[in-house]
Amino acid sequence: MTRFREHSQGAMKSYREELWFQTKTRRAYLNITPQVREAVKKSGIREGLVLVNAMHITASVYINDDEPGLIQDYDAFLEKLAPQAAPYRHNETGEDNGDAHIKRQIMGREVVVALTNGELDFGPWEQIFYAEFDGRRRKRVLIKIIGE
C-alpha cells in the first residue's frame, strides 16, 4: 500500500499573498487553482504546506471537481440544509446572511495542500474553489506557504 517516499532538508521560508474577489451574485463558486499555482511559483518554495483560507466568515475554500453539474448539486444541497429565506437569530441583528454562515461551516474555511517538487501535490481531479455565500462586495482569500 505504500509508494514513493522522499526526504529533504533546508532553511525555512514563508510566503503570503491575498486574492480579492467581488462576485456579481450572492452565491458563486470560483476555481482559484491557477492563482494558487501562480503564488506557489512566485514563492520559490519547493517542499512544504500551502494554506488557502477564506478571510471572511460567509465564504469557504474547498477542494473538489470543476464540473458545473456538481456545483449545482452543492448549491442545491446547501440551500436545502440552510435556506436563505429561513428565519435566523443572526438576522435579528440587522444582517441577512445567517444562511451564509451555516453554508460556510458545511463547506469549510480552508484547505491545506502539500507542496512537493515545487508543485501542488494533487490527485487527478483536485481543484481549489472559492465558494461565496454572501457576495457582491469585496472579499479576500489568504494564501500562506511555508517550507523550503
Q: Give the footprint of a second copy on residues 49-88 (CB under 8 A).
A: 49, 51, 53-57, 62-65, 67-70, 72-74, 76-77, 81-82, 88
Cβ closest to a second copy, residue 26 vs residue 106: 106
Q: In angstroms, what CA-CA distances link 3 with 93, 113, 117, 118, 123?
A: 53, 19, 16, 20, 14
CB of 24 to a second copy, least distance (A): 15
CA distance 40 to 96: 36
C-alpha cell, 73: 448539486
Q: Please count the residues of this chain forming the interface with a second copy, following the rule CB under 8 A.
A: 84
Cβ closest to a second copy, residue 17 vs residue 26: 17
CB of 132 to a second copy, least distance (A): 14
* Amino acid at position 139, single letter: K
C-alpha cell, 137: 462586495
CB of 27 to a second copy, least distance (A): 15
The alpha carbon of 16 is separated from its chain's Cα centroid by a whole number of angstroms, namely: 15
